[in-house]
Amino acid sequence: MQKKFLAASVLLVASLGYLVSSSLTASTMKAVPVKELRAADAKPNSFVGQKLRAVGFVGSAKPKNTLENTEKGAVKTVHFEVVEGDAKLLVSYANTLPDTFRAGGPVQVDGTYTEAGKIRADHVLTKCPSKYEEGEAAKKKEGYDSKKTQSAKNSGTNATNANAMGANAQGQSRS
């Protein structure tokens, strides 16, 4: 009886370990800068056929919408470029672009690298640079926020002083 329980426990733990490791492998993608991706195209260890995350900046060319015929019928596909320096990557994405998508903005594209210089995206992720960059805009904002905070502190002090003065005036009028 104990041997059966031990065998079942070992089998259960091994199965659980396999499920965890396979789900981690499937959900993690290698983040590859566009320059590195394009440089590997000329080498035998190209990324063609692999699922990956391409990292770069949205190109200056306006995204183009096309209708493509698939097994599911006609699908609206957006085509745009992701760039890093001189390196360019053409992206096909069959979904709506994020609201923060803009030329020159940082972008991450998850998908399959179908051929040299082309990726079929499953997900497009953009960031609002003002939240992530250290720069003049952030410094100006911090300066504004500290002035605003100081102003609020002063207002609170002034209100406290006014309340105290009002209390003194009421105390004097009662006497």
The tens digit of pLDDT for each residue in 79-127 reads: 999 999 999 999 999 999 998 999 999 999 999 999 999 999 999 999 7
Domain 28-127 is found in CATH 2.40.50.140: yes
The tens digit of pLDDT for each residue in 40-76 reads: 998 888 899 899 999 999 999 999 999 988 888 888 9
**What is the distance between the alpha carbons of residues 51 and 157, in angstroms, rounded to a whole number?**
59
β partners of residue 125: 108
pLDDT of 167 over the 60 cut: no
| In the chain, domain spans | 28-127, 129-162
Q: What is the pLDDT of residue 163?
A: 47
